[in-house]
Amino acid sequence: MTKVKERTVVLSQEALCDGIYDLRLKAPQIAAAAVPGQFVNVYLNDAARLLPRPISICGADAFSGELRLVYRVTAKGAGTELLSSAKAGDALAVLGPLGNGFPADLRDCCVIGGGIGVPPLLELLKRLPGKKSAVLGYRNDRMMFLKAEFDAAADRVITATEDGSFGTKGTVIDALEESGYVPAAILSCGPKPMLAALKRYAAERNIPLWVSMEERMACGVGACLGCVTPSTETDSHSNVKNKRVCKDGPVFRAEEVVL
């Protein structure tokens, strides 16, 4: 199914922790078509803000038609601040699903997420076959949103916090090394420094790695070239070594992109 612009209805919204919101929408067409790793463009009910906000899909239930978006409101995020005020019964226009997704047929693999890169991995973890593990990186124990849901969905969850308030003190790499666990394959989402460190870690151990990139997007459909990222191969669209994160991604094999 191709992308659609669907008029959705807010089912609920709650704050999970400081600046992190859990938005549930009735969006049967998008929920039925979405795969883990894709995102949607959410249009705000404000004529002064024409560009939509791209938000990764945290959950999609084809049977109930519920679409779940977990997102962060930043200090400069006037658009997401407005979105955080949406309440049950409000209508929102949403375009999606957009981009590609993670491979969902890998066995004995590990999802690794950091910060707001954690939410896109929850639906993926639920759909993966066989034994599955997760490594989650947070700022501190007060920001460990979705942790309980990962505990329920995974066979093993390893946690790192920057300040050491829970789990390993440090990064997701520190947590992996401390645990002694070496994944057979890694599916990841998070800030670029984390992805770059994972690329080095995986290359040293010959572990297949997929990364979901975070870039500022305008159109979300590959037309504006506002979210290009350096790649290791020539893009057929622009004939240069760039990839459009919104259209060619956001999920890439690690060797495809420069981190």
Q: For residue 178, what pLDDT is reported?
A: 97
DSSP letters, 129-148, are -SSEEEEEEESSGGG-TTHH
Per-residue pLDDT at 234: 79
Q: How far apart are CA 259 and CA 132, in angstroms?
A: 26
Strand partners, 187: 111, 210
Q: Is the pTM of this model over 0.85?
A: yes
The phi, psi pair for 209, rounded to 5°, reads -135, 130
Q: Give the pLDDT score at 243.
A: 86
Residue type, position 182, single letter: V
Residue (of 56, 62, 54, 51) closest to 28 by Cα position: 62
Note whether 127 and 65 are within 8 A (CB).
no
Nearest Cα to Cα of residue 104 among 17, 160, 37: 37
Which of 78, 8, 1, 11 minimizes the C-alpha distance to 32? 1
pLDDT of residue 129: 93
- pLDDT for the residue numbered 187: 98
Query: Residue 256 has what DSSP assignment?
Result: G
State the architecture of 109-256 in CATH terms. 3-Layer(aba) Sandwich (3.40)
Peptide bond into 250 cis (omega under 30): yes
Beta partners for residue 112, in sequence order: 135, 188
Domain ranges of the chain: 4-98, 109-256
Q: What is the pLDDT along the chain (259 residues), one digit of tens a residue?
A: 589 999 999 999 999 999 999 999 999 999 999 999 999 999 998 877 778 999 999 999 999 999 999 999 976 668 899 999 999 999 999 999 999 999 988 888 999 999 999 999 999 999 999 999 999 999 999 999 999 999 999 999 999 999 999 999 999 999 999 999 999 999 999 999 999 999 999 999 999 999 999 877 777 777 777 788 888 887 766 678 888 888 898 999 999 999 9
Tell which residue, 257, 202, 199, 204, has the closest CA to residue 227: 257
CATH 2.40.30.10, domain 4-98, yes or no: yes
- State how far the Cα of 246 lies from the Cα of 163, in Å rounded to an integer: 33
| Structure tokens, 7 | 């008029």
What are phi and psi for residue 73, nearest 5 degrees?
-95, 120
Phi, psi (5° rounding) for residue 10? -70, 125
Q: Quick check: 32 and 8 in contact, CB under 8 A?
A: no
Q: What is the pLDDT, as a whole number, of residue 233? A: 80
Output the pLDDT for position 76. Answer: 67
Spatial separation of the C-alpha atoms in residues 45 and 69, rounded to whole Å: 17
Segment holding 28, helix H or strand E: helix 28-33
**pLDDT of res. 189:** 97
